[in-house]
Structure 1
Amino acid sequence: MTSTVTAAAVSKNFGVYQDAAAREPVIITKNGRPRTMLLAYEDYLRPRRDRRVEETAELSDDDLAAVQRAEMEPGLDRLNAELLTGKHAAD
């Protein structure tokens, strides 16, 4: 699970969120949009194979179907809603 917090909150309570990031990533928002992330150093050092990126052209039909069926964790339902409405944070 990941926590989301405003940049102002992090500025006022950095130590609290630094401790929280040791347990789980903390997404920091600016103007209501994800901007940066606090991450435990051990997580940053995690083997690169866990963070690999592939082009969708390299995925099999089964893999593509699995991606299309995938849903967010219950606490992140708003992200599924954005996908359905075509609203993306990068816009």
Structure 2
Amino acid sequence: MTLTLNIPDPVLRRLQSLCTDVPRAVLEGFAVESYRTGTLSCAEIGDLLGHTSSWDTQAFLAEHHAWPAPTLEEVTSDIASLHNTRVP
């Protein structure tokens, strides 16, 4: 699929001053946010970005500090673990 975005010229100039490949930067930004929100999996991010290994995808996500948002169950479990490991 090909996607066309209309970016106002002042915004485009600003983006071009920050990076040499604006379409790739937009795609990577979408990928990072999609992973953080749980919309796309790590494997899907790898496919989207054309990575040849899961290591490349994991390195990309780590470089962008992209971690999936924790679920309520994960937070509850972490809190319970902290309460159980507290030193009196």
Instruction: From the two aligned structures, give the one with the greater strand fraction.
Output: 1
* TM-score (normalised: structure 2): 0.23
Instruction: From the two aligned structures, give the one with the greater helix fraction.
Output: 2
* TM-score (normalised: structure 1): 0.22
Instruction: Compare CA radii of gyration and give the structure with the larger one.
Output: 2
